[in-house]
Amino acid sequence: MSVFILPNFSWMVRVSIALAVLVITLHQIQLTITSNHLEYKIKLFKYPIYRKLLTPDNIKKIKFGRIGWSTKNAVVKVRRGFNFGVAQFYSEKLIGELEEFALTHNIEIQKTRDYLLLEKYYSHN
């Protein structure tokens, strides 16, 4: 594939681009919420390539926002490490569980004005 698209690049660059495309298209992201921690995993096929276990002490805040017209999103802000969002899961239930987790463990919650509008609009359902 990369031979036809990028004929002027070296062989090593073409292989690197092909591997990057493969990783981007075949990875899976998994978030597990338990009563006392969050576990965030990135897998390639069934093998974990990144795993982060977050206790409430490691979480600065959870910021709730909106993506597009009606998609809710939450970004977990971490004290040390990478922040991560949960928009790719497309789950209202997950957003609710994250908010409940934050309230239970006294983690700061920040909601954008757009998110509050979505909550108001969908609260009657």
pLDDT tens, position by position, 94-124: 888 999 999 999 999 999 999 898 888 876 6
What integer pLDDT is reported at residue 8 of this predicted model? 63
DSSP letters, 51-119, are EEEE-GGGEEEEEEEEETTTEEEEEEEESSS--EE-GGG--HHHHHHHHHHHHHTT-EEEE-HHHHHHH
The CA-to-CA distance between both ends of the chain, in Å, stands at 48
Q: Which of 64, 77, 76, 62 is nearest to 114 (CA)?
A: 64
pLDDT in tens, 31-75: 889 989 999 888 888 888 888 899 999 999 999 998 888 888 899
| Closest to 54 measured CA to CA, from 96, 98, 87, 10 | 98
**pLDDT-derived band at 87, boundaries 50, 70, 90:** confident
CATH node for 2-122:
2.30.29.30
pLDDT at 2: 47
Tokens at residue 15, please? 């292989």
For the chain, which residues make up each domain, given as ranges?
2-122
Render pLDDT for 10-31 as a digit per residue (tens, 0 to 9): 778 888 888 888 777 888 888 8
Please name the residue that has the structure tokens 């908010």.
Answer: 99
